[in-house]
Amino acid sequence: MARNITPREQDYSQWYLDIIKVAELADYAPVRGCMVVRPTGYAIWEDLQAKFDRAFKETGHVNAYFPLLIPSSFLRKEAEHVEGFAPECAVVTHAGGEELEEPLVIRPTSETVIGAMYSKWVQSWRDLPLLINQWANVLRWEKRPRLFLRTSEFLWQEGHTAHATAAEAEEETVKMLNVYAKIMKEDMALPVVEGVKSEGERFPGALDTYTCETMVSDTKALQAGTSHFLGQNFARAFSIQFQDQNGEMQYAWTTSWGVSTRMIGAIIMTHSDNDGLILPPRVAPVKAVIVPISKDDAAFAELDAKARELADELNNVLGPLTVRVDEQNHMRPADRFFYHLQRGVPLRLELGEKDAAAGTVRAVRRDTGAREDLKWGELAERVPAILEDIQKSLYEKACAFRDANTYEASSYDELKARLEKGGWVKCFFAGSKEDEKKIKEETQATVRCYPLAEKDRTGKCVYTGKEGAHLAVFAKSY
């Protein structure tokens, strides 16, 4: 049934790009490495934004906006930070018809410029905690761009908080990781594992980086969101100081955390098939489509009117504009079905003359293809229930796939052999940053994280032989 889509088994990368193309999610921009997020893709982003934004506000955060351009000297104030980001920066050297005295970089992330502002705003313990989030575009020049997953410009949110104590900042870091994981599991149906990054994979300038790692359908890992405990590194670099309750000056403790448009790539890769996009209903902008069908114009008009009536009823239950009517009656029914199937609409409701005579619609699930006749009067109850069932099935399927492709290794040879066949491999690991580098050279895989759920398991490191090593997940990744 697949048209215009390279089968996943044949070429996974091309399959992914073909889905984006047929579902009209994104397009390449005229500038290399940059993308255009098309309306159908942007609608997914808007929906994700709304969900995350609500969760941020419920946890006491407010939004603000910081500038796009950062003096290049700012980046150099934190040694690890500049080393990590300077090679990826785009640099503005001229503006307003003149050469600038100091070049400006387009923000690759905003710790530095936000640090400079926080040092002005934070004076006393009463000003803390400062809990601010920003929705913005950032730019990191990409040599090997891939739509959604790795583009030079991308959209994201970056939370930046300042606290009076290390404990409070660490609590915030983990709290936001959990906010991310909850939405990713419950709404995006991603089989994420929460964990801590190894030294070699930490955010440049962080003491600890927490991550939501997910497995996509070729068994590679994808980092879907990260939360960083920055200690006092940025507070010292930018002089974020406050007078504590005893009248003494202290440096603040800061965090930062972000998720981006790359999450859309994770959704596509996790759930889709060779026919096209599959979207979990809770993040699908269009949750169901009603397709009235008749070769007779008068009959079509009647069916169309009924379809609109049913859609209005469903939109009252599911939210405005989430159920649409397909009026492309100039196309063949099979083409109209395929149109919505490729675009990942979770449920199709066909309304032909025979269905109308029976007072039913033929419901077809995108995930399984299962068909069922539903009475008009029961739609308001049954459609939300079917959508919830699709949501649940997709998550369970993704978790089962992750578990079936996760292995354990008790020696480095076993780890290497297993990684060659794909999947995630768990083993005890206590190697250094340099060890990680060597393993990456040999296996193309990295430590994705030390899973929090298994932090109490310790054993002998497969690489160094050290005892008391924690359990790590190794995998190739996007």
> Which residues would be at the binding site for a second copy (CB under 8 A)?
27, 29-31, 34-39, 41-43, 45-46, 57, 62-71, 74, 87-97, 103-104, 106, 113, 116-117, 120, 132, 136-137, 139, 141-143, 152-153, 155, 321
Residue 96 C-beta: closest distance to a second copy, Å:
3
Residue 190 C-beta: closest distance to a second copy, Å:
22
Provide the token pair at 449.
Answer: 């994280």
Residue 69 C-beta: closest distance to a second copy, Å:
5
Residue 107 C-beta: closest distance to a second copy, Å:
11
Q: Give the CA angle between residues 450, 455, 452 to the nearest 5°.
A: 60
Residue 444 C-beta: closest distance to a second copy, Å:
22
Residue nearer to a second copy on the CB measure, 1 or 95: 95
CA distances from 159 to 54, 70, 116 (A): 14, 18, 15
For residues 221 and 476, give the distance between their C-alpha atoms in angstroms, rounded to a whole number. 6
Count other C-beta atoms under 10 Å from residue 106's C-beta. Answer: 18
DSSP 8-state assignment for residue 150: B
For residues 175 and 170, give the distance between their C-alpha atoms in angstroms, rounded to a whole number. 9
Nearest residue to 38 via CA among 272, 285, 278, 217: 285
* 63, β-bridge pairs: 133
Is the omega angle on the peptide bond into residue 39 within 30 degrees of 0, that is, cis? no
Residue 363 C-beta: closest distance to a second copy, Å:
26
CB neighbour class for 190 (10 Å; exposed up to 12, middle 13-18, buried from 19)? buried
Residue 46 C-beta: closest distance to a second copy, Å:
6
Task: Write the secondary structure of 159-203 as one string of H (helix), E (strand) and C (coil).
Answer: EEEEECCHHHHHHHHHHHHHHHHHHHHHCCCCCCEEEECCHHHCC
DSSP 8-state assignment for residue 326: -
Residue nearer to a second copy on the CB measure, 142 or 199: 142
Largest Cα span, the chain: 83
Residue nearer to a second copy on the CB measure, 62 or 166: 62
Residue nearer to a second copy on the CB measure, 88 or 218: 88
Residue nearer to a second copy on the CB measure, 96 or 247: 96
Residue nearer to a second copy on the CB measure, 24 or 171: 24
Q: Give the CA angle between residues 461, 466, 471 to the nearest 5°.
A: 35
Residue 23 C-beta: closest distance to a second copy, Å:
14
Nearest residue to 230 via CA among 168, 169, 180, 176: 169
Phi-psi region of 20 (alpha: psi -120 to 50; beta: other; left: phi over 0): alpha
Residue nearer to a second copy on the CB measure, 114 or 471: 114
DSSP 8-state assignment for residue 20: H
Residue nearer to a second copy on the CB measure, 160 or 271: 160
CB neighbour class for 188 (10 Å; exposed up to 12, middle 13-18, buried from 19)? buried
Give the three-class secondary structure for 64: coil
Residue 314 C-beta: closest distance to a second copy, Å:
18
Residue nearer to a second copy on the CB measure, 102 or 456: 102
